[in-house]
A and B are shown apart, each in its own frame.
Chain A
Amino acid sequence: MTDKALTIETLSKDRGLTRVLNDVSLHLAPGERVALLGHNGAGKSTLIKAILGLTRVDSGTIRIGDAAPGSARARRDTAYLPEAVSFHPALTGREQLTLFARLSGERPDIPALLDRVGLADALDRRIGTYSKGMRQRLGLAQVLLGKPRVALLDEPTSGLDPISRQDLYAIIDELAGQGVAVLIASHALTEVEARTDRIAILRKGVKVADDTLANLSALAGLPIRMRVRATENADALAARLGGNRVNGASVELLCSPTDKMEALRRIAAMGEAVADLEMTPPKLEDLYRHYARETVQ
């Protein structure tokens, strides 16, 4: 027995001469939300398909709980939201979900499920008339259908408007609260920032980072960006602070997290000369760029 919901050990896959997954290991505990980040072609979708048992791997192992990928147990225990999901346009939302419910052997309250994802009005309309966002919501509804141990969401925010994204993350939190391990493949960095427990970054099939956001930031040592607006003379301010003048009135300087307080004291000491101060901690975007660009050490 294992307490891990999902275990991936030294997974490799070649497609022709390219190695699309190279020695990837990843572990998800029940109730954990992990963001899987990477550029297009970094291997995110391939990894998800490998977990689903839909594509052969050349070496390494995957276990969903204790079950092998593609086995009947593993398929019952995984929920999957494909990237840009699509269904048969002639069926209605209710009929499509009924099909999935019958396939999974569950007997869920389908109207309630569609209401949960905001599709109550479109219950008996053909999927062909749905917008992209509505199809994505329908895809999400089928994730909630069974009682999965692992949920694999491939680009779940694509096609969703900001309000729907909030709904999506509420649903992900709800799943995690029920003990489901959630793996979210995404390049919509800003959204996953606050909503995941851990971030794994894939670059050309290699896992280059796998840690909490705070640890990744500290490890990367990315600078904090400060923008100071001068009351009158920006040049003088730039000379005294040692930063770059970015426009007529502002100076931008970068400092490491350890030097932050020191810099703030210096700025505060300048009194009337400073009109405003804006501070930006390193964003996931910067982190991502840092880890995705640098080669593994």
Chain B
Amino acid sequence: MTRFLAITRAEMLVLRRNRWLLVATLIMVLFALALTFAGSAPTGTLGVDMLTISVASMTTLSVYLAPLLALMIAFDAIAGEVDRGSLALLLSYPSGRGEILLGKFTAHLAALAFAMTVGFGTAGAVAAWFGGAGAESLMALLRLILTSILLGAVFLALGYLLSALARGATAAAGLSAGLWLVFVVLYDLGLLGAVVMDQGGTFTRSVFPWVMVANPADAFRLWNIAATEGVAMASGMTGAAQALPVWAAPASLLVWPVLGLILARAAFRRVEP
């Protein structure tokens, strides 16, 4: 039963040794700090503490960075093993494909969680130190960290799916870049275009919020925004959040990782090393 932990341990060693963990954590800390200081200007105008503003800025940051970092580790997970010729050997051991996937996922998620916690934690601590924090803004920070890890989990799973479908690690990297672009940038642009065309019709009022929350990156944004009034005010994105029931965004963000892993497992089954 603990065979997947053997894979996890080896993957952790690899992430530490190839400096992925260090670089990812550094990126998170630097971006979070920069946004916290750059975004601290409107504190007075909105009448909220600095940590709230900081969380709002970091939410926007995380939408881009969490999927990117997750895909950066995930694309190599299966295609890389096929390329190196080590997958056949790994599969000749009693560990099943599910265990291999689970082992890698556990290690990768732990690494992402570490980078997120340290990055957002540091920035949050700095913001609280300089501009004050309340119980609500601390909750918002905690929520940001946890939902960022969930968002990372979604894109880890989708990364494995692409890694199993692609022919070779290079192709998997290309597909991952495409996936990131679609989910994080193009999807929203498309929705924006549709809303403009619709000019406040049925689509905008009843369909649009659901289509939006179906995208895990948007669900992440909505969850963080809807939960805290201050954050919603600071990000100016309340409309869509109010049109949906409270459970919609959390449900989307919780269902996606499971769905992604199931799809990745199914695709992995068909890989012949």
Contacts and interface: CB of A to CB of B under 8 A. Distances in A.
Given A87-B86, A88-B84, A52 B13 contact: no
Given A90-B17, A90-B18, A91-B13, A54 B88 contact: yes
Interface stretch (A99-107, A185-193, A231-239): A99-107
Interface centre among B3, B5, B14, B88 (most CB of A within 10 A): B88
A90 B86 CA distance: 14
A103 B88 contact: no
Interface string B16-31: 0110000000000000
A76 B10 contact: no
Contact of B91 (A54, A83, A126, A142): A54
B243 to A, nearest CB: 48
Interface in B70-115: 84-86, 88-95
Interface in B1-17: 3, 5-7, 9-10, 13-14, 17
Contacts of B95: 103
A196 interface: no
A58 to B, nearest CB: 14
Contact of B3 (A85, A87, A102): A102
Contact of B94 (A52, A80, A96, A104): A104
B132 interface: no
Interface residues of A, number: 30
B24 to A, nearest CB: 16
Given A95-B13, A102-B3, A52 B84 contact: no
Contact of A99 (B9, B17, B84, B92): B9
B273 interface: yes
Contacts of B89: 80, 82, 85, 139, 142
B84 A86 contact: yes
A55 interface: yes
Say whether chain A's binding surface is mostly helix, strand, loop, or mixed.
Answer: mixed
Contacts of A95: 10, 13
Nearest to A101: B6
- Categorize the interface residue count of chain B: 20 to 34
Nearest to A95: B13
Given A80-B88, A99-B7, A55 B18 contact: no
Given A103-B3, A105-B94, A90 B85 contact: no
Interface in B249-273: 272-273
B49 to A, nearest CB: 43
B84 A90 contact: no
B91 A52 contact: yes
A46 B84 CA distance: 18
Contacts of B14: 88, 90-91
Interface in B36-94: 84-86, 88-94
Interface string A119-162: 00000001000000000000100100000000000000000000
A102 B6 contact: yes
Interface in A46-99: 49, 52, 54-55, 72, 75-76, 78-80, 82-88, 90-91, 95-96, 99
B85 A99 contact: no
Nearest to A142: B89
Given A49-B88, A52-B88, A102-B3, A90 B13 contact: yes
Contacts of B6: 99, 102-103
B85 A85 contact: yes
Interface in B140-175: none
Contacts of B93: 75, 100, 103-104
Nearest to B87: A54
A78 B92 contact: yes
Interface string B226-257: 00000000000000000000000000000000
A88 B273 CA distance: 16
A76 B85 contact: no
B101 to A, nearest CB: 14
B88 A76 contact: no
Contacts of A49: 88, 272-273
A96 B7 CA distance: 10
Interface of A: 49, 52, 54-55, 72, 75-76, 78-80, 82-88, 90-91, 95-96, 99-100, 102-105, 126, 139, 142
Interface of B: 3, 5-7, 9-10, 13-14, 17-18, 84-86, 88-95, 272-273
6 contacts: A49-B88, A54-B92, A54-B272, A80-B88, A91-B10, A91-B17
9 smallest A-B Cβ distances: which pairs?
Answer: A102-B6, A80-B92, A103-B93, A90-B17, A99-B10, A86-B84, A75-B94, A103-B95, A90-B14
Given A85-B86, A86-B86, 10 more contacts: A49-B273, A52-B91, A54-B88, A54-B273, A78-B92, A85-B89, A90-B17, A102-B9, A103-B93, A139-B89
